[in-house]
Amino acid sequence: GAGVSQSPRYKVAKRGQDVALRCDPISGHVSLFWYQQALGQGPEFLTYFQNEAQLDKSGLPSDRFFAERPEGSVSTLKIQRTQQEDSAVYLCASSLGSGGAQETQYFGPGTRLLVL
């Protein structure tokens, strides 16, 4: 079946612009995660959803970052007033159950954001 998809794959924004990144998880997956991956680093956790509930947003770097999953499937990560330090790859992952310690997370191809 289809994997996790993300759009757009690439986004160039001018500093100060707002951007919206979309994630379509694997159908039926309960848990959805957003990660930020800077060049040469491993992914860093941003936020976690279980169905439509955002259970953990401790990794969001500032109040300019906002995520939602209103119907428990597609999720959007929004970044307001983008800054150059927001330039990174934003990865979405989903897992079948409630995101327990043993669960495999399946990653999408990511959105490469470049803020000029």
Residues of the shown chain interacting with other proteins in the complex, contacts defined by CB under 8 A: 31, 33, 35, 40-45, 48, 50, 55-56, 91, 98-110
Beta carbon nearer to other proteins, 53 or 116: 53
Distance CA 8, CA 31 (A): 21
* Residue whose tokens read 């990865």: 91
Under a CB-based contact definition with an 8 Å cutoff, are residues 112 and 36 in contact?
Answer: no
What minimum distance in Å lies between the beta carbon of 2 and other proteins?
14
Beta carbon nearer to other proteins, 81 or 114: 114
What minimum distance in Å lies between the beta carbon of 73 and other proteins?
18
Distance CA 69, CA 84 (A): 26
